[in-house]
Structure 1
Amino acid sequence: MLLTSKRISPNGLRVFESAARHLSFTAAAKELRSTQSAVSQQVRALEEQLGLQLFDRIYRGVRLTESGQALCEAVQAGFATIESTIERLQQRHRNPRLTLLTDFSLASYWLLPRLPAFRQRHPHIDVRIMTNQGGFDWREQEVDIAIVFADQRGLEGIPRLLDEEVFPVCSPGFLAEYGPIDDLASLGEVPLLTLTADQGQKWLDWPGYFERMGGPLHQAPSELTFNNYPLLLQVAIAGQGVGLGWRGMVENQLERGMLVGLESLSLSTDNGYGVIDIHAEDQSPAKQAFLEWILTSD
């Protein structure tokens, strides 16, 4: 008789999974609020039904056979699928939830300050934000909307959220000590704070900035390098150097006088942030409300 024609007990699989995870019938019995003998009997019944030995009984314990290990992995994957499906079904009866993916900088300096306005307008929508400081592949994430930084080619066919405009920023104290910094020559002589792009990110760095501006290479003897933009801005605020400020990211620090923008040295590129609707076939009211809001937010 084929296995598919047999009725496998879901409870037997649940008992087997617990025993396999603990490698102990006693521990499985404790977890399942049963007895060691009952667990042993149910495992034995499953083995007889399958015609397979799932455990080797060894001194003071058990260990999985090759068949047992394969079945354990399959059962755990199946249970995980069932649990995620139940979660999705239950979610439909709760507040709708949107999962967003973007980089840490945009989330910190652009999205989060504006998000209260969306939540006030749509208090029934739960928003979950996932961030990554480096490059990320939104295709591999379970998200609804991705806000990505890309070059002109990467932004083709998707709505733009922000264009890339950058200008040097520093603290008022740093400018008083090293200033005036009003041209590329004077900028090239001061300590610079560098944001790395070692994961293939498209944002502008100092070499790219000087090249596009047609100026000399940076000649300062010292340079601080970061892979975290919020940390770079904190160091700039502390007066340790000049960093690149992105339009849309540094307005709060400029308005509060924590940073000074050297906007005469501003540079715009074809890069920017775009909004990707991951599952365009899903036209849920919650997602449509968020897309409409974010693409019209100031």
Structure 2
Amino acid sequence: MSLTSKRVSPNGLRVFESAARHLSFTAAAQELRSTQSAVSQQVRGLEEQLGLRLFDRVYRGVRLTEPGQALFASVQEGFATIDRTIDRLQQRHRNPRLTILTDFSMASYWLLPRLPRFRHEHPHIDVRIMTNQGVFDWRGQEVDIAIMLGDRRGQEGVPRLLDEEVFPVCSPGFLNEYGPILDLARLSELPLLTLTADQGQSWLDWPGYFERLGGRVHQAPSELIFNNYPLLVQAAIAGQGVALGWRGLVDDLVERGMLVGLEALSLSTPNSYGVIDVQPDDRTPAKQAFQDWLLSG
């Protein structure tokens, strides 16, 4: 049954939402550029229309009743849906926008350095980048494409951007002080820079690295631990230890001499960065152009 048939004023719902959000008729009046008495009258009229008490009047404010809480949740959800719909409709008359979700390292060291070329080729497409260092979860988010690292054996049909190949990296100064670093035995004795994977992330860590190559566990007395890969890389450049470097992400830093890659100790894994179309039913020229550009190298 429609609001019209129930004779519930949409403006009354707007006033109710503001009052419920602030738990104050006075604050709602200030937000709506109205008066406290007008807000109180609107709420009272809504309560009479519904035959329900939505607020308990308490000292210096109001408190939602159980029906009020239920209505508040529904009204907020409805207004959010309306706002998203309006935004999508207006977006059709502006530049198309793509939202890309990836992790900090991919965004910092692969995507951002290449993005100017895409923007030069497609100046009419707006790109929004969201980063998440934890486990990827795009549910409930306005995301078009996710670039994520995962086991490619479980990503059938997902285009692969970069296969995971890792090798230790350190600064030239660190190598001069502690080198040569020719084998796992020597590596295990050195200060290591660690990227946490405590949220179930799939990237390779030091214990997994040593295990896959059959080396002994890390023997150094301490290590630096980060939850952000760009910060870890900066620590490696500053000579604070050895980090794991990802092929395709740290190559430019190695070529510029900021890091030295110990590529004789490299390791390939079954993981790869895949390009996931989060909304495959929403096919737009902008999204297709971005996917084609990503996979063209």
TM-score bracket, normalised by the shorter chain, equals: over 0.9
1:165-209 deviations in whole A, cap 9, x for unaligned?
Answer: 111111111111111112222222222222222111221122222
1:47/1:206 CA distance change after superposition, 3 Å: closer
- Equivalent residues in 2 for 1:260-275 (5 A)? 260-275=260-275
Cα distance in 2 for partners of 1:22, 1:215 equals 60
Give the % identical residues: 80
1:111-158 deviations in whole A, cap 9, x for unaligned?
Answer: 000000000000110111111112222345321100110113333220
1:246/1:90 CA distance change after superposition, 3 Å: same
Residue 110 in 1 paired to residue 110 in 2? yes
Residue of structure 1 equivalent to 2:233: 233
Residue of structure 1 equivalent to 2:146: 146
Residue of structure 1 equivalent to 2:63: 63
Residue 159 in 1 paired to residue 159 in 2? yes
Residue of structure 2 equivalent to 1:49: 49
Cα distance in 2 for partners of 1:231, 1:198 equals 17
1:230-273 deviations in whole A, cap 9, x for unaligned?
Answer: 11111111112111111011112112211111111111122110
| Contact 1:158-1:275 within 8 A present in 2 as well | yes
Residue 175 in 1 paired to residue 175 in 2? yes
Residue of structure 2 equivalent to 1:89: 89
Cα distance in 2 for partners of 1:214, 1:152 equals 23
One-letter amino acid matched to 2:278: I
| Contact 1:169-1:242 within 8 A present in 2 as well | yes
Residue of structure 2 equivalent to 1:35: 35
| Further displaced range: 24-33 or 249-258 | 24-33
| Contact 1:100-1:130 within 8 A present in 2 as well | yes
1:47-104 deviations in whole A, cap 9, x for unaligned?
Answer: 2222222233455544333322322222222112111111111111111000111111
Cα distance in 2 for partners of 1:14, 1:134 equals 37
1:225/1:12 CA distance change after superposition, 3 Å: closer
One-letter amino acid matched to 2:112: L
1:291/1:40 CA distance change after superposition, 3 Å: same
One-letter amino acid matched to 2:122: H
Cα distance in 2 for partners of 1:290, 1:138 equals 18
TM-score, structure 1 as length reference: 0.92
What's the C-alpha RMSD, in Å, of the aligned pairs? 2.1
Structure 1 unaligned segments of length 5 or more: list them.
Answer: none
- Equivalent residues in 2 for 1:119-138 (5 A)? 119-138=119-138
Number of aligned positions between the proteins:
297
Residue 209 in 1 paired to residue 209 in 2? yes
One-letter amino acid matched to 1:251: D
| Contact 1:57-1:63 within 8 A present in 2 as well | yes
| Further displaced range: 242-251 or 219-228 | 219-228
Cα distance in 2 for partners of 1:201, 1:61 equals 46
Shift of 1:108: 0.5
One-letter amino acid matched to 2:156: E
| Contact 1:3-1:50 within 8 A present in 2 as well | no
Structure 2 unaligned segments of length 5 or more: list them.
Answer: none
1:100/1:39 CA distance change after superposition, 3 Å: same
TM-score, structure 2 as length reference: 0.92
Cα distance in 1 for partners of 2:3, 2:119 equals 52
